C-alpha cells in the first residue's frame, strides 16, 4: 500500500532525519549491494552501520542471506552509503516499501546510485557467470512505485525514461572492464514479479520483446531514483542460462555458485566506478 501523500513525505523525512543524526549526510554515492556485491561491503571503511530495524519507517529484510543494514563509510576514498539487503515484491512488500529506502537516500543527498542484481540470461551469447551492464529496462512487474498522488518536491508527475541508465557512468564501467580485461555484456533487463522462474514460453516471450536478461528486482528502485533525478548504473550477474529450447531445471546451488564466481570481478568493477566519482 502506498501511504497518503503527507504520510509518505513524513515517513521519508523522519527516516532521513534519523539517519542524518547517525551517519551524517555527506555521501553523494549510494550503493544497493545485491547479488555479487556482498563482498564490496568488506572494502568499505565503515564509519557507521545502521540495522534497518533502527530506521523508522524502513521495511525489514526477510531474506536470510541479506543482512538488512545501511553502511556509511569510505570506499576508494569516496564517501558512500550502502544498502546491504534490499526488498523484493515477491517477498510481499509493496512497490512503496521496496523503494522507500531510495527516497531516503535521495533525501540525504545521494546523487548517484550503483546497483547490482542477479538475472537469468536470455541473450544466447550470454553465459552463466557473465556480467551485464544495463543499458535499458522493461517493467513487467505489473506495479509502478510512482502510482498515486505525486510529491512534487521529489520529482515530476511524468518522469522521463529516455535514458534511465546514465551514459557517463556506463562509459566509466565499460572503460574499467576494458582496463581489467573483463567481459562486460551490455543489454536490456526485464523485471518480473517472481518468485517463480519463467516457463519456456515466458522466456521466449521476454526475449522476443527485446530483453537480454530477466530478474525480479532493481527496476522499482531505478524508477524512483530517476524520479528524484538521481543518476543510476546497474550491473547484473547472469546466474542461469534461460534458453527456451535448451532449458534445464533451475539449480539454486548453481545460481549461488555463479554469483560467487562473478563476485570478485563485479566488486572490482564497481569499486572502479566509485573511485571515478571522487
239 counts as binding ligand HPA under rule CB under 6 A: yes
In the complex, the smallest distance separating the C-beta of residue 143 from ligand HPA, rounded to whole angstroms, is 16
Cis peptide before 195, with omega less than 30 degrees from 0? yes
> Taking the CA of residue 212 as centre, how many other CA atoms within 13 Å lie in the half-sphere pointing to its CB?
21
In the complex, the smallest distance separating the C-beta of residue 136 from ligand HPA, rounded to whole angstroms, is 17
Interface with ligand HPA in residues 83-112 (CB under 6 A): none
120 counts as binding ligand HPA under rule CB under 6 A: yes
What does the chain come to in residues? Answer: 278
Burial of residue 115 (CB within 10 Å: 0-12, 13-18, 19+) is buried
**Residue with cell string 548504473:** 233
Contact with ligand HPA (CB under 6 A) among 79, 130, 212, 240? 240
Nearer to ligand HPA, 38 or 215 (CB): 215
The three three-digit cell numbers of residue 206, written as one number: 521476454
In the shown chain, the binding pattern of residues 172 to 211 toward ligand HPA, with x for contact by CB under 6 A and - for none, equals --------------------x----xx-------------
34 counts as binding ligand HPA under rule CB under 6 A: no
Q: What does 38-84 look like in DSSP terms, one character per residue?
A: TTHHHHSEEEEEEEGGGSTTPPPP--TT---EEEEEEETTEEEEEEE
Of 48-56, 89-97, 103-111, 213-221, the segment contacting ligand HPA by CB under 6 A is 213-221
**Residue with cell string 531516503:** 104
Nearer to ligand HPA, 117 or 265 (CB): 117
214 counts as binding ligand HPA under rule CB under 6 A: yes
Amino acid at each position: 500500500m502506498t501511504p497518503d501523500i503527507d504520510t509518505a513525505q513524513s515517513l521519508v523525512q523522519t527516516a532521513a532525519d534519523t539517519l542524518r543524526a547517525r551517519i551524517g549526510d555527506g555521501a553523494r554515492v549510494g550503493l544497493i549491494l545485491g547479488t555479487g556485491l556482498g563482498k564490496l561491503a568488506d572494502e568499505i571503511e565503515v564509519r557507521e552501520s545502521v540495522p534497518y530495524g533502527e530506521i523508522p519507517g524502513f521495511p525489514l529484510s526477510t531474506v536470510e542471506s541479506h543482512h538488512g543494514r545501511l553502511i556509511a563509510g569510505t570506499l576508494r576514498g569516496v564517501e558512500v552509503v550502502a544498502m546491504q539487503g534490499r526488498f523484493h515484491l515477491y517477498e510481499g512488500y509493496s512497490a512503496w516499501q521496496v523503494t522507500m529506502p531510495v527516497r531516503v537516500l535521495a533525501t540525504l543527498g545521494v546523487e548517484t546510485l550503483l546497483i547490482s542484481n542477479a538475472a537469468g540470461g536470455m541473450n544466447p551469447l550470454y553465459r552463466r557467470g557473465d556480467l551485464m551492464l544495463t543499458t535499458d529496462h522493461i517493467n513487467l512487474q505489473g506495479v509502478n512505485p510512482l502510482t498515486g498522488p505525486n510529491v512534487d518536491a521529489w520529482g515530476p508527475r511524468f518522469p522521463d525514461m529516455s535514458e534511465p541508465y546514465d551514459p557517463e557512468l556506463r562509459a566509466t564501467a565499460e572503460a574499467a572492464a576494458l582496463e581489467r580485461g573483463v567481459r562486460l555484456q551490455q543489454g536490456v533487463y526485464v523485471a518480473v514479479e517472481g518468485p517463480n522462474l519463467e516457463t519456456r514460453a515466458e522466456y521466449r516471450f521476454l526475449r522476443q520483446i527485446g530483453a537480454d536478461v530477466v530478474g525480479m528486482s532493481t527496476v522499482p528502485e531505478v524508477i524512483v531514483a530517476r524520479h528524484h533525478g538521481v543518476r543510476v548504473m546497474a550491473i547484473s550477474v547472469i546466474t542461469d542460462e534461460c534458453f527456451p529450447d535448451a532449458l534445464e531445471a533451475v539449480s539454486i546451488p548453481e545460481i549461488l555458485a555463479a554469483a560467487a564466481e562473478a563476485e570478485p570481478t563485479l566488486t572490482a568493477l564497481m569499486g572502479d566506478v566509485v573511485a571515478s566519482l571522487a
